[in-house]
Amino acid sequence: MARWIVNSGPVARRIDQWIESLDAKKKKDDDRRDGEEEEELTIPQRRQRLLRMAFEAFVQGPRGFVHETQLLVSPSWGFNFEDVTYDNVQVWHGAKDTFAPAVMIRWMVERLPHVQYKEYETDNHVSLGDHFEEVFGELVPEEVLEKHRAGVRERDAFAQSSS
């Protein structure tokens, strides 16, 4: 039912307007992406991709989403961050994220030993995705990344042919 609602005329139009407003904003600050080719998708294709990502959080039900939300606002996660012994915990975050506020993430990383924290000053929960290549590049070997890119291209081609 939720999928039907978000694909209905009024809701789909509102999402499309939001995507168009992101495009307009992006054109203003596009100097940071000079020379990069971007995938050309229509607004409806981008809406469908956005909705697929949004619904992915609920594929196995709402429990995980609810639990993560509770953790985010809880002063205790059942352990002390200071007691984490894993060396080189890495955290990337958008300073303008309203879903997972940066103030909470900063509070957490201040308590984690051996943490590397990178905060993107102008990014939010969604726009942080613009940095996935950089993040994955720091975490994953290049040959694994290329395999992932090929899978994404295949998935998107299938989604476009199914639309």
pLDDT over 90 (residue 26): no
Q: For residue 160, what pLDDT is reported?
A: 85
Q: Domain-by-domain residue ranges, the chain?
A: 1-14+44-56, 84-163
Task: Tell me: pLDDT of 163 over 80.
Answer: no
Environment class of residue 24 by beta-carbon count within 10 Å: exposed (0-12), middle (13-18) or buried (19+)? exposed
Number of neighbours of residue 102 by Cβ within 10 angstroms: 18
| pLDDT > 70: percent of the chain | 87
The chain-wide mean pLDDT, for the chain, equals 84
DSSP 8: S
| CB neighbourhood size of 128 (10 A) | 19
Provide the whole-model pTM.
0.57
Q: What tokens appear for 3 in the block?
A: 């999928």
Task: For residue range 119-129, list pLDDT tens digits in order.
Answer: 999 998 888 88
Q: Residues, the chain, total?
A: 163
Q: Which residues pair with 90 in a beta bridge?
A: 116
At position 43, the amino acid (one-letter code) is: I
Instruction: Please give the pLDDT value at position 116.
Output: 95
pLDDT in tens, 36-95: 555 688 988 988 988 888 888 888 999 988 988 888 778 788 899 999 999 999 999 999
